[in-house]
Structure 1
């Protein structure tokens, strides 16, 4: 168990044009952390000035680099400042800094390396989530979970706490946009770090859905989640494509026999399609087997490297 009085806890807030809410978030976060950092990601308003006046340290990007870049900046700062636990929280007022003690408790008790604030694990948080957000979150979390070793309910939560031993895993270039949440948990899972979800509530009053439109944001993150599945779990990705191809073969054959009951053979055009999907399904199956084996080897190497870095 870690002694809270002997470790350094910091809150990092990636922010772009959040002058309306950043001050209160900083002041509320200071009650539960030794340091508060605001990464001003190319804001065109007074976000940086308000954050400074509220008592935060501020690091500014000259132009908007995206949330992933802001997180890397905060992690590099945390290493330099010898931070033991860093909490990421959104600067738009969606997250309650008062939940920080509950969020870091599993890390203090050495029950996990990463603690993720989950709206699905909090009755009030789930009840107050707008339906379109709930549906989108479920789809994106399901897609992200396919690339993980276990199910995650709230893959898009930006309210997270990390032990210092996990920092090196996220120092590489990451997704620049909102898909960074999915990538970070995939990287953590691949490195063998423990992670768990802790119930939190979120406020949506007066908030924009996102800087990007909700639909564009959702499809972008879904595409990135599927890319993560292909990279992290190629066996599952290509295996699913193989199963789908063979399903089309069976469907075409059944439909052909139903549509042409008096024919001994299927029409030539249909035979071409059946042959194509059989070959395609076989290729995807071969790729799933080969890449799955290679992926297991790479995961062992990655975990060994992370263990050496930790030592």
Structure 2
């Protein structure tokens, strides 16, 4: 089996060579290992350092975002006929030799997507600012609630994918990809496994381009998560908000009618009546939107299935 190791890179000249040099060349079930670096608009000599270290470099003309770099990595891995793709960051926070433990469940056909988990084993939780740790836990809880299965770490960038997973992945977010991948593959019933992995909590060089601004990170990531959930579970998504509108409409309407029963007048609280009517209409509109979106979702699923078979034929002539 061929393993393609994909490393996204933005100004990582200080660490990229060490990461490439430590990638294991011999892993159980793997006959060949190729290294691809996705240079996402670096302004230093990261690309040159990566080439000198033996990696094939794909360069973006400008900084397109981690999500775009991940998609470029998938395309390059498929072009190279990968049976397994490993994604690892170029900042040196992960230990490349650990990828053998991530690859093993994929090679053994036990999982389609294996992610390193920094928080599933309390004994190896890394040192990091409490706000980042809190944010990671909240994101994991949110994604777990949407999927319906408990995950401890949905934001780690150290992952292994089977060929099936690569062919099924269809992402839209450019800011990041980590949480969207969970939703994308879980809703397509692919097998997901977490592997407890010890990592370095603090970067030795530079700062994270994703989590450096936590408020922006939370907003952008939440937007991607809810957009993905809206696309894959539209009826549930819209009906949740529809139900909220109906509940508020019922509460205000009950208050308005109770006021009339007790006083014999509508005056004084007409705002409650108008608000109840507006919220009822909004709830009805959201429910109808959910039904229409659910029908469009069936078309989307058919299109994604066709895309999957087209990619299989294009890349592997299957």
Normalised by the shorter chain, which TM-score bucket?
0.7 to 0.9
Distance 1:137 1:289 in 2: 33
CA distance change for structure 1 residues 62 and 288 in 2, over 3 Å: closer, same or farther?
Answer: closer
Please give the residue correspondences for 1:1-311 in structure 2 after superposition, counting only pairs within 5 Å: 7-31=1-25, 34-126=33-125, 128-145=127-144, 148=147, 150-170=149-169, 174-178=172-176, 180-206=177-203, 208-211=207-210, 212-252=212-252, 262-263=262-263, 267-296=269-298, 298-299=300-301, 302-303=304-305, 306=308, 310=312, 311=318
- Whole-Å Cα distance in 1 between the matches of residues 179 and 235 of structure 2? 19
Residues 188, 201 of structure 1: alpha-carbon distance in 2 compared, 3 angstrom cutoff: same
Q: Which runs of 5+ in 1 are unaligned?
A: 1-6
Q: CA deviation at 1:41?
A: 1.2
- Segment drifting more, 259-268 vs 28-37: 259-268
Q: In terms of mean alpha carbon deviation, does 11-20 or 180-189 score higher?
A: 180-189
Post-superposition Cα deviations, 1:98-136, rounded to whole Å, max 9, x if no partner, equal 221111111111011111222232323435353212221
Name stretches of at least 5 consecutive residues in structure 2 with no aligned partner. 28-32, 313-317
* Cα distance change on mapping 1:147 and 1:301 into 2, 3 Å: farther
Over the aligned positions, Cα root-mean-square deviation in angstroms equals 2.9
1:139 partner SS: helix
SS at match of 1:197: strand
**1:8 touches 1:84 (CA, 8 Å); kept in 2?**
yes
**Partner secondary structure for residue 37 of structure 1:** strand
Q: Taking structure 1 as reference, are residues 100 and 289 closer, same or farther at Cα in structure 2, changes over 3 Å only?
A: same
How much does 1:247 deviate?
2.9
Residues 126, 199 of structure 2: 8 Å contact kept: no
Are 2:10 and 2:41, in contact at CA under 8 Å, matched by a contact in 1? Answer: yes
Instruction: Give me the whole-angstrom Cα distance separating, in 1, the residues matched to 2:67 and 2:202.
Output: 25
1:305/1:45 CA distance change after superposition, 3 Å: closer
Name the TM-score, length of structure 2 as normaliser: 0.82
CA distance in 2 between partners of 1:93 and 1:104 (Å): 19
Matching residue of 2:30: none
Residues 126 and 198, structure 2, Cα contact 8 Å, conserved in 1: no
Distance (Å, rounded) in 1 between the aligned partners of 2:197 and 2:254: 50
